[in-house]
Amino acid sequence: MRQNIRLGTVAGIEIGLNWSVLLILALFAWELGLYVFPARPGHAGAADWIAGVVGAVALLVSVLIHEVSHAVVSRHHDVSVRSITLFVFGGVAQLEGEAHTPGADFRIAAVGPLTSIVLAGFFGAAQATAVAAGLHGLPVAVLSWLWQINLLLAVFNLIPGAPLDGGRVLRAFLWHRSGDRVRASIQAARVGRGLGVLLAVLGLLTFFSTGSIVGLWPALIGLFVYTAAKAEERYALIQGAVGPLTVGQVMTVPAPVVQGAASVAHAAAVLWRSRCDALVVVDDAGRATGAVTARAVMAVPDELRPGHVVNDIAISRATLPTARVHEHMDALLERMVAHEGKPALVFDDDDRLVGIVSTSDIERAVALRTVPPGGARAGS
């Protein structure tokens, strides 16, 4: 998930906002200020608009606290957290790596909805206190909405399909029962996929039968859950197929190289000949300075390729994941995901560059691993 706006750091974790959040924030402020909070819906005064903005921002902070709770418990279980990004339907805490035991997996997932329930209790108590103190009108309306929305967040996140928290709880349970993390991940993601379809269908049915735009929310959320669950299932399948292999078994060796000063057209020609979808970029002395991907080359139009040099579109070495030849792939897969799928440079024990692992290497390994031993059943 790309961070578009950086908000700063909390407990050493980068916090960012996706642009979509600003849109949702404005929609919530509008809805709350115009229809939810005013005594006569549709007739909003200045105070109603301010209450709308306060309510929307308080929701955003609630979601952030939910995500930070995941991050804090992750760290407690030695799973480091790179960043938290808030986006359209909530937040994502980007974990580097995975829980080491089903118990840790369970706690990291369950703390989120639990935190939302605690927040709901906090706002509920605040509302009761306000009412007891004789307050009425807007402050009470805002607090009332806040406990309800936090409770809704808790319930929504408890839906038992990955990637939602409830799905991770389900995965932890299945993992605990079978002892097989990969299989549990695939099963939980499949349930998530099914629930995503169900939500989308129910939302669309509501929309077409009542004409109410409210039905579009579950439909959009269903689509999001489906897409994320599918990606999660795919990742688990890759992990299952490639995870137990060593980096040396998967990498392209020797690493195809291209000079940083060479033209992009030349890089395209080298990519064409190599089976890899990334090249190691080297300087005049032959030292690796980074990598260039097929995607970056393809983004340069044909006619401009002779006029651009590889260094213009290369990824610098400092931002690439690295690996050791004898290391297992599951650790590298996690690092590659944390680096948004960038190729990894592979070094031997003497720190010499020996190969490269790109998405094409992983795809090839998955394809070969899923062919039954002995190959296709031709002639049987």
Point out the residues that are catalytic.
Answer: 67
Nearer to Zn ion, 41 or 121 (CB): 121
Minimum Å gap between C-beta 23 and Zn ion is 21
Residue in this structure with the two tokens 């031709």, named with its chain if needed: 378
Q: Which of 15-23, 105-113, 195-203, 293-301 is the region at the interface with Zn ion (rule: CB under 5 A)?
A: 105-113
- Sorted by sequence, the CB contacts under 8 Å of residue 146 that are 6+ apart come out as 55, 58, 59, 62, 119, 123
We find the least distance from the C-beta atom of residue 1 to Zn ion, in angstroms, to be 14
Number of residues that bind Zn ion (CB under 5 A): 3
Q: Tell me how far, at minimum, the Cβ of 70 lies from Zn ion, in Å.
A: 5
* Minimum distance, C-beta of residue 372 to Zn ion, in the bound complex (Å): 39
Using CA atoms, how far apart are residues 64 and 28, in angstroms rounded to an integer? 16
Among candidates 372, 266, 278, which has minimal Cα distance to 317? 278
| Beta-bridge partners for 15 | 8, 84
Q: Toward Zn ion, which CB reaches closer, 165 or 330?
A: 165
Written as one letter, the residue type at 326 is: H
Question: Nearest approach, Cβ of 141 to Zn ion (angstroms)?
Answer: 27
- Do 243 and 333 contact (CB within 8 A), yes or no? yes
**Nearer Cβ to Zn ion, position 3 or 157?**
157
Nearer to Zn ion, 195 or 250 (CB): 195
Q: Which two tokens stand for residue 234?
A: 């795919």
β-pairing verdict for 5-10 and 90-96: unpaired
Alpha-carbon distance 64 to 15, whole Å? 9
Place of tokens 């990004």: 85
48 near Zn ion (CB under 5 A): no
Nearer to Zn ion, 95 or 294 (CB): 95
**Scanning residues 155 to 174, which ones bind Zn ion (CB under 5 A)?**
157, 165
* Interstrand relation of 80-87 and 13-17 (parallel, antiparallel or unpaired): parallel
Quick check: 278 and 343 in contact, CB under 8 A? Answer: yes
Asked whether position 112 contacts Zn ion by CB under 5 A, the answer is yes
Which of these segments, 95-103, 150-158, 224-232, 238-246, binds Zn ion (CB under 5 A)? 150-158
Place of tokens 């005064």: 45
Question: Which residues bind to Zn ion, rule: CB under 5 A?
Answer: 112, 157, 165
